[in-house]
Structure 1
Amino acid sequence: MKQCDLIVIGGGAAGLLAAGTAARHGAQVMLLEKNPRMARKVMITGKGRCNVTNDCTEEVFLQHVCSNSKFLFGPIHQFPPQRMMSLLEELGVPLKVERGNRVFPLSDKAVDIVDALVAFAKNAGVCFEQKQVDRLLISDQTIQGVHCDDDTVFFAPKVLIATGGKSYPLTGSTGDGYQLAQQAGHTIIPPRPSLIPVETQEEWCRECMGLSLKNVTLTLWEKGKKKPVYTELGEMLFTHFGISGPLVLTASTYLKKDLSVYHMEIDLKPALDAQQLEQRILRDFEKNQNRDFFNSLSELLPRKLIPVMVRLSSIPPTQKVHQITKGQRENLCRLIKHLPLTP
C-alpha cells in the first residue's frame, strides 16, 4: 500500500499505539520502522522487565514530571495510566504493581509488552514496512507523504513522527525525528541528557564501585534555593565514574547545564533522625569500646563504605572507640546523614 490515510514513522511504543488506535477508528495506516524489530528500547526498559507506567492518579503523575508538566496535561487526561493498564490486560498481558506503584508485566518480560503492542497494531489492520524515512514530501505547505532512503515513496495527507529522541543510538534512537520535524517548519530545542548516571568529583566513589545502597535518601540542592530541587528514598549504586541507579537517574533530570551550582547529599540512615542515629552509634560504640574506630562500624555501614567514612570523618582509624569524643561522634552522625557529593 503506497497510498494511505496516515503514515506513522517509528515502531516504538508510541508509534505502535498511535497506529493501532488510528486503524481501530477506520484509518488506513502505514507504519514505517527502520529496524528489523519493533520497540527495541522498550525491550531494555526496567532491566528487561519493562516498567510500563505508574498506578497513580493524573495529578500525582504530573507532580513527578520535573519540567513543563502542563505540556503533558492533555495527553495524560486523555490516556491516564489506568487506561494503559486496562489496554494491556485486554491484550492478554497480566500486570503487577510493585513498590512505588511501579507497574510491570506479571511475567517480568519486556518482550510480552512488545508482542502485545505489535499484535494490537496488526490486528487493527496496520500495514508494516521496514523503511528509513529521510525526508517529508511537502507541497504548498501541505504534507503529501514521505520519501525513504531507498527512493520508495509513500503518500498520505497526514504523517505522525514517533521516532523517539536520540538517547540510545544502538536501538535506533538517532534523532531522525528532529530533522523531519524541522522540515515541516518546527523549531527544534537542542536536547540535553536526562535519566543518566552522574559523574562526581569525589575520587572515593571509585573505591565503592559496585556498591549498591538500598533505602537511602538522595537529595539534590541548588545554590540560592532554600528547598531541595529533588529528594527521594530509594536505591542507588556507585560506579567507576560516580553514581547511578534509580535515584540518580531521576535526579539527573533536574540538572541543568551549569553543574557548579549543584551539590548532592546521601542520607545513609533515613529511618533514623539525628538523635536516634546518635543513640544507635552509642550502642555500637559501647559494644566495641576497646576496638579501633575502623573496626567498630561493620554493623552500621556497608563494608566498602567504611574506609571512606573513616577518612571523611577525620577520626584516626586506630583511635580506640572509648576515646572518641562527643564532637567526633556528632561529626560522624552528620556525615552519615549528609554524605556530600559534587556532580
Structure 2
Amino acid sequence: MKRVVVIGAGPAGMMAAATAANRGLDVTLIEKNHRVGRKILITGKGRCNITNDCDIEELIENVPTNGKFLYSAFYTFTNTDVIDMFNKLGVETKTERGKRVFPLSDKAHDVANALEKMIKNQKVKLLLNTKVEKIVSKGSKIEKVILDNKKEILCDSLIIATGGLSYPLTGSTGDGYKFAKNLGHSIVDTKPSLIGIEVQESFVKDLEKLSLRNIEISVYNSKNKKIYDDFGELEFTKYGVDGPVIKSASCRMKDTTKENYKIVLDLKPALDEEKLDKRIQRDFKKYTNKKFENALDDLLPKKLIPTIIRLSEIDKDTVVHQISREQRKSLVHLLKNITLTVKRYRPIEEAIITSGGVKVNEINSSTMESKLIEGLFFAGEVIDVDAYTGGFNLQIAFSTGYLAGYYC
C-alpha cells in the first residue's frame, strides 16, 4: 500500500490527509501541536469564515498573489464542495454580507472538530506533539521523514502543509519554507498580509478601539496613484488602523520600506460633498446657539468628535452660528478625506496570513506536486498565494489540500 506523510494538521493538511486516506492509501498526519486546527480556532474572530459563496472567477480575482495558479484547484474542489463537505460533517452554514460563509453556530470550534472527525473517519494515523526534523529524498524522489526523536517514517509521497509565519503560537513558524529550500525549492521572500498598519499620525492613539462601520478607504502610492479602495469596517489602534478593509488593503501594498503609501478615509461615503454639506447645515441650524464641540453628536461617534475638531482647526468653543461658510466647507472636505500616512506593517506574527512562500512555477498547478522532487506535494499557505479577507484563504487551503491528497 502506498505510504503518504502529511506535515501540518491545519485545514490544508487535514483536507489532504482525509482525501488521500479516502483513496485507500496509508496516511500519517504529523502535527507538532497538542491538537489539530489551532489556527482555525482564531480565524474570523473565533467564528471561522470557511469560504466565500461567489463564482469561481471571483474567487480567483480575490487572490492578488498568483491567483491564476489556483484555476485547477478552485475548479476541482469548489466553494460549493466545501459547504457540502461541512454540511455532511454536521456543520450547518450561513451566508452573510459579502457572500462570506460561516458555521451557523458562529463557533470556529465546530469547524475544527468537524475536520478532526473527518480524518478520524478516514482512519488517518495522527501523530500529535510530534516535530519533523528533516525530509530526506533519494535522488529526486521522496524517501522518508526524520522526526526530532530520530525516529524515521518511510513514505512514497509527502505533503507539506505547514502554514506560513503568522500566529507562531499556533505552530506557523516557517518550517515548511526550510524543508522546501533544503529540497531545492525557491522561496519568495515572506511578508505579512492581512495585517494591521502603523501610521505616522499621532491622533490615532486617542481613537484606540474605536470601530467605524460603512466607511470607505482609498490607498495611494508614492506617485499618488490609487491602488485600492474598499468599503466596510475599520478599527483604530494605538499604533494605527486595523479591521477588514485595512487587512485587505495590506495585500495590495508592496514593501513599505521602499514605497510610501497613504490611506484616505471617507467617513460618509453615502453622501457626496454637496449632500454632506446640506446635512451639516441642518445640524448646525438645529444646534445654532451651541458650541461647535456640542454640534456634532448627530453626525459622528462621540470618541471621534475631539479629533475631528482638532483636525478641522475650528475652535471648539466657537458658537455654531459663527462658523463661516469656508470653515464648514473645510469640515465637509475633512470628513471625506482624512489622510493617514503609512509607516509600516505590524509584525508578521500578528498577520492573518503570510505573503510569499514556495515559488508557484516550481509546482504543478494541476496536482500540487513539486516539479523538482517526485512524490513531494504542497498545500495551503506554504505556497506563494494569498488572498483578501472573506473566506478566500481557507478556500485556498481546502482546494490545494484536496488536489495534493488526490494526486499524491
TM class by smaller structure = over 0.9
Q: What do residues 34-62 of structure 1 show as CA deviations (whole Å, max 9, x unaligned)? A: 11100100011011111101111111122
Q: Helix, strand or coil: the match of 1:117? A: helix
Superposition map of 1:208-247 within 5 A: 208-224=207-223, 226=225, 228-247=226-245
TM-score (norm 2): 0.81
- Aligned partner of 1:282 in structure 2 is 281
Report runs of 4+ in structure 1 exceeding 4 Å deviation.
none
Deviates most, 9-18 or 59-68:
59-68
- Aligned partner of 1:183 in structure 2 is 182
Superposition map of 1:16-55 within 5 A: 16-55=14-53
CA distance in 1 between counterparts of 2:138 and 2:227 reads: 47
Deviation at 1:125, TM superposition (A): 2.1
Deviates most, 74-83 or 300-309:
74-83
Paired AA for residue 305 in structure 2: I
Alpha-carbon spacing, 1:68–1:225, altered in 2? closer, same or farther (3 Å)? farther
CA distance in 1 between counterparts of 2:312 and 2:191 reads: 36
Superposition map of 1:245-284 within 5 A: 245-258=243-256, 260-284=259-283
Q: Helix, strand or coil: the match of 1:214? A: strand
On the 8 A contact 1:16/1:117 being kept in 2, the answer is yes
CA distance in 1 between counterparts of 2:222 and 2:78 reads: 36
CA distance in 2 between counterparts of 1:20 and 1:287 reads: 65
- Number of matched pairs: 340
- Aligned partner of 1:88 in structure 2 is 86
Paired AA for residue 119 in structure 2: A
On the 8 A contact 1:4/1:155 being kept in 2, the answer is no
Paired AA for residue 285 in structure 2: E
TM-score (norm 1): 0.96
- Aligned partner of 2:76 in structure 1 is 78
Deviation at 1:124, TM superposition (A): 1.3
Q: Is it true that 1:324 corresponds to 2:323 in the alignment?
A: yes
CA distance in 1 between counterparts of 2:65 and 2:161 reads: 21
Q: 1:120 aligns with which of 93, 118, 121?
A: 118
- Aligned partner of 1:310 in structure 2 is 309
Q: Which has the higher contact order (CA 8 A, sep 6+)?
A: 2
CA distance in 2 between counterparts of 1:147 and 1:192 reads: 29
- Aligned partner of 2:164 in structure 1 is 165
CA distance in 1 between counterparts of 2:135 and 2:201 reads: 48
Paired AA for residue 240 in structure 1: K
Deviation at 1:225, TM superposition (A): 5.5
Q: What do residues 175-218 of structure 1 show as CA deviations (whole Å, max 9, x unaligned)? A: 10011111211011120011111111110000011111011112
Paired AA for residue 31 in structure 1: L
Paired AA for residue 70 in structure 2: L
Q: Helix, strand or coil: the match of 1:114? A: helix
Let me know the Cα RMSD of the aligned residues. Answer: 1.3
Point out where structure 1 has 5 or more consecutive residues left out of the alignment. none
- Aligned partner of 1:193 in structure 2 is 192
- Aligned partner of 1:110 in structure 2 is 108
CA distance in 1 between counterparts of 2:200 and 2:80 reads: 42
- Aligned partner of 2:385 in structure 1 is none
Point out where structure 2 has 5 or more consecutive residues left out of the alignment. 343-408
On the 8 A contact 1:267/1:336 being kept in 2, the answer is yes
CA distance in 2 between counterparts of 1:67 and 1:157 reads: 31
Q: What do residues 4-26 of structure 1 show as CA deviations (whole Å, max 9, x unaligned)? A: 52110010000000110111112
Q: What do residues 232-259 of structure 1 show as CA deviations (whole Å, max 9, x unaligned)? A: 1111111111111111111111121135
Q: Helix, strand or coil: the match of 2:194? A: coil
CA distance in 2 between counterparts of 1:267 and 1:66 reads: 24
Q: What do residues 101-138 of structure 1 show as CA deviations (whole Å, max 9, x unaligned)? A: 11110111111111111111121121111221111111
CA distance in 1 between counterparts of 2:140 and 2:123 reads: 29
Deviation at 1:68, TM superposition (A): 2.2
Alpha-carbon spacing, 1:159–1:21, altered in 2? closer, same or farther (3 Å)? same
Q: Helix, strand or coil: the match of 2:317? A: coil
Paired AA for residue 62 in structure 1: I
Percent sequence identity over aligned pairs? 44
Superposition map of 1:197-208 within 5 A: 197-208=196-207
CA distance in 2 between counterparts of 1:93 and 1:22 reads: 22
Q: Is it true that 1:291 corresponds to 2:285 in the alignment?
A: no
- Aligned partner of 1:150 in structure 2 is 149
On the 8 A contact 1:4/1:30 being kept in 2, the answer is no
Q: 2:127 aligns with which of 123, 126, 129?
A: 129
